């Protein structure tokens, strides 16, 4: 019974992950994601964090920033456009969060990746 419950929770968390991936560039409420997962907001938060080590909002932020990095690197968008494309309204907030995740602001990070292509694996 515990295994079935665990598998059921994992399926529910996977539904939430899929929804966040499809809608990463849109604002969301935890209640909307919980509805998609067919869980309460508190249960979603608990089980999501157990599976991903991140809250749903942190997960969305990471997906946004990884996609922005890809857009800047591969499609050669400027940082402000990439940030806006992935759902950031504030270029300064985007730049701060980008630097926090990748260790440097967008232009410096992408310049480093272009100089060291092996560092861009998976982008």
Tokens of 13: 């968390």
Q: Both tokens of residue 56? A: 């749903």
Pair (42, 78) in one structural domain: no
40, 69: one domain: no
43-75, pLDDT tens digit by residue? 999 999 999 999 999 999 999 999 999 999 999
Q: What is the mean pLDDT of residues 35-39?
A: 94
Residue 3 reports pLDDT greater than 50: no
Domain that holds residue 20: 2-53
pTM of this structure: 0.85
Q: How confident is the model at residue 7 (pLDDT cuts 50, 70, 90)?
A: low
Q: Which of 93, 116, 121, 118 is nearest to 106 (CA)?
A: 93
Among residues 92, 68, 95, 70, which one has the least CA distance to residue 82?
68
Q: Give, for 74, the enclosing helix (H) or strand (E).
A: helix 56-74
- Beta carbons of 78 and 40 less than 8 angstroms apart: no
> Rounded distance, CA 123 to CA 120, Å?
6
- Our count of domains for the chain comes to 2
Number of Cβ atoms within 10 Å of the Cβ of 95: 17
Residue 96 has pLDDT above 80, yes or no: yes
Q: Are residues 85 and 36 in the same domain?
A: no
């Amino acid at each position: 019974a515990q295994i079935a419950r665990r598998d059921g929770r994992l399926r529910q968390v996977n539904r939430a992950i899929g929804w966040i991936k499809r809608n990463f560039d849109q604002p969301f409420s935890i209640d909307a994601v919980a509805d998609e997962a067919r869980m309460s907001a508190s249960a979603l938060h608990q089980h999501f964090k157990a599976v991903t080590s991140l809250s749903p909002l942190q997960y969305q932020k990471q997906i946004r920033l990884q996609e922005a990095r890809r857009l800047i690197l591969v499609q050669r968008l400027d940082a402000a456009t990439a940030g806006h494309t992935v759902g950031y309204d504030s270029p300064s907030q985007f730049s701060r969060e980008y630097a926090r995740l990748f260790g440097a602001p967008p232009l410096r990070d992408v310049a480093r990746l272009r100089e060291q292509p092996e560092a861009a694996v998976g982008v």
